[in-house]
Structure 1
């Protein structure tokens, strides 16, 4: 995991833009994890004072909730596009894992999955917010599998979820996308075998 601190760009910002602040905070939380980022660090990077921060976001967990919303629309695996009814389930599930491998290892400073890593946060409010996003993704995968393989939906959803947790953790440890993909190929064969029976 890269522990390099992200810092405020040189020069003073023209004005405080909450949307831009959320984008910058997303990189901070993704790079360092929710617990390691303090309000003081966020305000320093954004170039704002604490009252402006609290007026805009309420608290750190409020900012994190905004970050998760942004990540859901810009950085997460596009499950709705990948989980297609006109393709074999095994192929689509393999595509989810492939997308995760490339996405999680694409940027060494923000490796892994922001949501999955957030489910380990010490702060209960932040952890609950991340868990809610994670549960929604799991639910989408489970529903997709259940449409054609109801008897295998729970087991395969657990497999995908556990595998993605591992991909995220290994990406944060510095595994390259190619190295993650080698393991994804093994998982893809296991999925194909399981769904042929």
Structure 2
């Protein structure tokens, strides 16, 4: 089951939810549609497992940045720099599955799944920033999330690590200034 979820995660990450069909998933997993539905309930059920696996692992950039400690500005800079390093294409996969896996999807269930994880990520950012700047935490968290979404989309469109690193450095500087700003 773990191997199946890992395979599905790679497919969804590489091509997006809508571009991966049940027949292809079944073929990649070596199972026929009745077994697929018995195991996962639906394509969205497998997508949910893939998203949770992805978000709980190395791809949780903010959690990785937080693990090294430091103040808000330092952790946010580390988060953006790590995204710049991880988002460019590697082995046919670019960007972030949570941020881009169901972008423009016609499936409301897939959109709901990714939106819930994005909201959780935004809440984690906001709560962390609030430890230093509670009155500005919501706006600053929105800034970081927007930067991350932009970096993910840019990587999927072919941006390389050098370009994303330059952007991350600029965004980090802007974040530091806004963190220190009054009001």
Q: Does the TM-score normalized on the shorter chain lie above 0.5?
A: yes
Q: CA contact under 8 A between 2:58 and 2:64: conserved in structure 1?
A: no
| Structure with bigger gyration radius | 1
Query: Which sections of structure 1, spanning at least 5 residues, go unmatched?
Result: 1-17
Aligned to 1:44: 27
Tell whether 2:175 aligns with 1:188: no
Paired residue for 2:161, among 177, 184, 193? Answer: 177
For residues 14-163 of structure 1, the aligned pairs below 5 Å read: 18-83=1-66, 87-105=70-88, 107-120=90-103, 121-163=105-147
- Could you state the TM-score of these two structures normalised by the residue count of structure 1? 0.85
**In 2, distance between residues paired with 1:163 and 1:111?**
16
After superposition, the Cα gap between the structure-2 partners of 1:161 and 1:126, relative to the gap in structure 1 and judged at 3 Å, is same
**In 2, distance between residues paired with 1:188 and 1:19?**
36
After superposition, the Cα gap between the structure-2 partners of 1:162 and 1:65, relative to the gap in structure 1 and judged at 3 Å, is same
Superposed structure 1 runs of 4+ greater than 6 Å apart: none
**In 1, distance between residues paired with 2:165 and 2:35?**
43
Root-mean-square deviation over aligned CA pairs = 1.7
Q: Equivalent residue of 1:111, what SS?
A: coil
Query: Which sections of structure 2, spanning at least 5 residues, go unmatched?
Result: none
Q: CA contact under 8 A between 1:83 and 1:144: conserved in structure 2?
A: no
1:139-192 CA distance string (max 9 Å, x none)? 000001112101111111111011111000010011111110011111111112
**In 1, distance between residues paired with 2:69 and 2:57?**
25
1:101-139 CA distance string (max 9 Å, x none)? 111115151100000113522211111111111111110
Q: CA deviation at 1:195?
A: 2.1
How many residues of Structure 1 are paired with residues of Structure 2 in the alignment?
180
